[in-house]
């Protein structure tokens, strides 16, 4: 058992390298989603960033909450804590998506059918309540079959946040109690199911549609449990320089395997490459001169991930309004968009995310102070 002093030192760890890894992963996802305006920049394996997010989440959530859950923290307050952490920026991205589509809907007479209107309203309600779209064939207003069938068409990357909440629920109900052997057995079962269920699609990068929900749950559970397992053994240090860890992380997302080799490549990256990188990132802190930069990357990672997809629609529409072809000016269009997003993200964190989370915490988690019992002056005399 760890000593009390050792436990308090461990609790004070900041894991700045893991923060920076999340930032690199988020930027890779943006480049993937903006490929038409970012070429020749390419991050073909950026879908694996989701698996990195889940592994890091499993590590950090175990670090922050396992002892609290063992000490009696209930599932309800834990899930409220996690929902409050994710919901404000998710909501901001969804609202951007809603308002992007409103003028398109009004200006498109072909989309005013009763079925289309109902489908759009239901998509909006689903989005506001952090619920996936449990049906196929969304409004024809959503361009492309992928968006029409997506579980979160108003903010496509939000599917990964939903499954983060699902695996968080698993964590507070039973995962935090599992011994290492049972955790490994669960991971093996999830990994086998992932491989078997996605072989026809050529790899783990299936479209974020509700039809793939069982596979997505297995994917999130495997990676989150891997993060938990790394936490169990992270006292064994993997001495890799932090900057080299970030470079290797970026190289993983730049892999561009052929369709024939994609499934095998993704399987090898998910296990063991990404877990080893997270283990290295958890083992070594950057030098003092780099800590601030690493922490800044981590601080903006969730913000840019949660809002970049619908904000990109708005950005490119504004360029077209000024007769600027975003694709013809690639990759400068994407670089300007990414730079602007990185600049505005700290402001969003400070002036939107932090106040909203503080408000939600006061409303849902902080118990009101008990009022002092009234004293009868006559009885007290």
Q: Which residue has the tokens 């993060």?
A: 227
Confidence of residue 101 (pLDDT cuts 50, 70, 90): confident
SS3 at position 139: coil
Confidence of residue 259 (pLDDT cuts 50, 70, 90): confident
For 335-369, write each residue's pLDDT tens digit: 999 999 999 999 999 999 999 999 999 999 976 55
Mean pLDDT of the chain: 86
CB 378 within 8 A of CB 109: no
* pLDDT in the model for residue 264: 82
CB 98 within 8 A of CB 124: yes
What percent of the chain has pLDDT above 90? 66
Identify the weakest region by mean pLDDT among 60-74, 123-137, 321-335: 123-137
Confidence of residue 220 (pLDDT cuts 50, 70, 90): very high
* pLDDT in the model for residue 366: 79
Residue 29 Cα distances to 41, 110, 241, angstroms: 12, 33, 24
Cα 127 → chain centroid: 16
Main-chain phi, psi angles of 284, to 5 degrees: -130, 130
């Amino acid at each position: 058992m760890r000593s009390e002093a050792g436990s308090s030192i461990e609790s004070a760890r900041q894991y700045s390298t893991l923060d920076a890894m999340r930032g690199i992963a988020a930027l890779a996802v943006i480049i993937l989603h903006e490929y038409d305006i970012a070429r020749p920049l390419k991050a073909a394996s950026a879908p694996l960033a989701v698996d990195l997010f889940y592994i890091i989440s499993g590590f950090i959530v175990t670090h922050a909450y396992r002892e609290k859950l063992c000490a009696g923290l209930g599932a309800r307050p834990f899930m409220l804590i996690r929902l409050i952490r994710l919901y404000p920026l998710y909501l901001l991205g969804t609202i951007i998506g809603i308002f992007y589509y409103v003028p398109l809907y009004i200006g498109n007479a072909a989309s005013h059918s009763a079925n289309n209107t109902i489908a759009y309203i239901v998509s909006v309600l689903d989005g506001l309540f952090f619920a996936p779209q449990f049906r196929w064939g969304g409004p024809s207003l959503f361009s492309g079959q992928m968006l029409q069938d997506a579980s979160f068409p108003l903010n496509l990357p939000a599917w990964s946040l939903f499954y983060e909440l699902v695996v968080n629920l698993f964590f507070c109900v039973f995962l935090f109690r599992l011994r290492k052997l049972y955790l490994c057995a669960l991971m093996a079962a999830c990994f086998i199911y992932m491989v078997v269920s996605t072989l026809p699609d050529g790899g783990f990068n299936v479209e974020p549609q509700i039809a793939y929900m069982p596979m997505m749950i297995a994917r999130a559970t495997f990676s989150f449990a891997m993060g938990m397992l790394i936490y169990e053994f992270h006292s064994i240090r993997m001495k890799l320089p932090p900057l080299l860890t970030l470079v290797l992380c970026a190289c993983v997302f730049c892999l561009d395997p052929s369709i024939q080799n994609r499934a095998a490549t993704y399987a090898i990256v998910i296990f063991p490459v990404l877990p080893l990188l997270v283990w290295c990132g958890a083992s070594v802190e950057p030098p003092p001169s780099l800590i601030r930069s690493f922490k800044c990357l981590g601080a903006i990672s969730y913000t840019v991930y949660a809002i970049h997809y619908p904000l990109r629609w708005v950005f490119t529409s504004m360029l077209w309004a000024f007769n600027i072809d975003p694709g013809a000016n690639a990759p400068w269009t994407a670089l300007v968009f990414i730079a602007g997003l990185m600049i505005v993200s700290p402001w969003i964190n400070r002036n939107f995310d932090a106040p909203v989370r503080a408000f939600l915490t006061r409303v849902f988690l902080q118990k009101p102070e008990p009022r002092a019992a009234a004293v009868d002056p006559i009885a007290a005399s």
